[in-house]
Amino acid sequence: MSFDASALANRTASRLRAYDPGHDLPALRVRFGEQLAELGSNETVLGPSPHALAAITDALPDVLRYPDPHGGALKRALAEKWRVETSQIALGNGSHELLMLLAQCFADSTTSVVFSEFGFAVFPIAAAAAGAIAVSVNALPGDHATAPYGHHLDALAAAIRVDTRIVYLANPNNPTGTWFDDDALDRFFDHVPVSTLVVVDEAYQEFVDAPGVSSAARLLERHPNLVITRTFSKAYALAGLRIGYLLADPGVVAVLERLRESFNVNSLAQTAALAVLGDSAHLRKVCEWTRSERDWLDHELESRGYRTLPSQTNFLLVDLGEDAARFEQHLFDRGVIVRPMAGYGLGECVRISIGTRSENERLLAALP
């Protein structure tokens, strides 16, 4: 009998497909060289605080040691920043790992996980990996004047059942760039039982300047079932080091600790994260520059007849009003990488990250 590993996969793995990373970027960097414009992954092109690069360089000789399994120094800095106890913090190899770990620890085949249509791609994967019942809730309807595709919080609350262990929200959301305000989240909590964890993914929160929108961290004391995930991949520009964290009730963190891999966050990532936290001036500069460059690009796209959705992030969702595959291929052939959204059920949209001015100009020049 021939060997068929796929037939040996367990029930959960049998139902999953491998992550589609999109284009082979290392190969494209060789092919296009300096002319490649990488606008597909929502990275921050200004780069991290220079303090981070200096700190990593100093820490390089320590790579022969295992990292601190508790991330003690970083947790103390985060606890001070958020005015929480270190026992309320878990560190992850990117916030992706934490989103998965939450489902692994709290959901299973007898429970359900709720998330929004057009929500972050990791939410359904986390539910599936835990073997949980996935409940996808229709996004807000609307036309382009009213920012469609956002989370429908009333419908999400209504979808919560007695067996719902997790509801995942992203604020702002990727890939839609949509957001909800503090009042809306307050009202949402009125309809959520304490037996359901509300996970608010705030990967882009640093970029937000809309009035009345702040971090859900203000609700931590009031709602022990609230979990907030944050990342160093976006505004802090450390995507390559893989580090994120969550804030939650100490009881939630204690459960996660049972399944967390002991050395999940490497030592250079811990060192760099600590350094970027100490440079709020750089963070402010990155966010201000990103907002202004985004608004410029938005304006340039709209003046060429493209419809963009309002954004509080470092990317724009462009609705082409027709299948986006040809548009994406056209840009690809010219070395401009954007992210098609068919995998999200948004086949007429592409997501464009804010690049350097020169990359953004190359995008504009390459438009069909």
Residues 28, 46, 79, 239: which binds ligand PLP (CB under 6 A)? 239
Residue in the shown chain whose Cβ atom is closest to ligand PLP: 94
The one segment of 155-163, 208-216, 231-239, 339-347 that binds ligand PLP by CB under 6 A:
231-239
DSSP 41: S
Amino acid identity, position 29: R
Q: Are 351 and 315 in contact (CB under 8 A)?
A: yes
As given in the structure block, the two tokens for residue 351 are 């997501």
Candidate list 233, 290, 308, 312; residue touching ligand PLP; CB under 6 A: 233
Between 80 and 99, how does the x/- string for binding to ligand PLP read (CB under 6 A)? --------------xxx---
* Site pattern 241..280 for ligand PLP (x: CB under 6 A): ---x------------------------------------
SS3 247: strand
Instruction: Give strand ranges (E) for 42-173.
Output: 89-92, 112-116, 133-137, 164-170
Element (H, E) at 135: strand 133-137
Report whether 8 contacts 328 (CB < 8 A).
Answer: no
Least distance (Å) between residue 207 CB and ligand PLP: 11
Q: Closer CB to ligand PLP, residue 180 or residue 362?
A: 180
Report the distance separating Cα 54 and Cα 298, nearest Å: 35
CA–CA dist 136, 301 (Å, integer) = 32
Among 203, 331, 336, 346, binds ligand PLP (CB under 6 A): 203
- Nearest approach in angstroms of CB 115 to ligand PLP is 11
Q: How far apart are CA 266 and CA 68, in angstroms?
A: 8
Kindly give, in sequence order, each residue whose CB lies less than 8 Å from that of residue 367, ignoring residues fewer than 6 positions away: 304, 306, 331
Max Cα separation, the chain? 65
Least distance (Å) from ligand PLP to the CB of residue 230?
A: 8
Binding mask 164-183 for ligand PLP (x = CB under 6 A): ------x---x---------
Q: How far is the CB of 205 from ligand PLP (least distance, A)?
A: 10
Q: What phi, psi does 31 have (nearest 5°)?
A: -70, -45
Q: What is the contact mask toward ligand PLP in residues 113 to 132, using x (rule: CB under 6 A)?
A: -------x------------
Residue choice 176, 231, 267, 360 for contact with ligand PLP (CB under 6 A): 231
The DSSP code for 327 is H
- Site residues (vs ligand PLP, CB under 6 A): 42, 94-96, 120, 170, 174, 201, 203, 231, 233-234, 239, 244
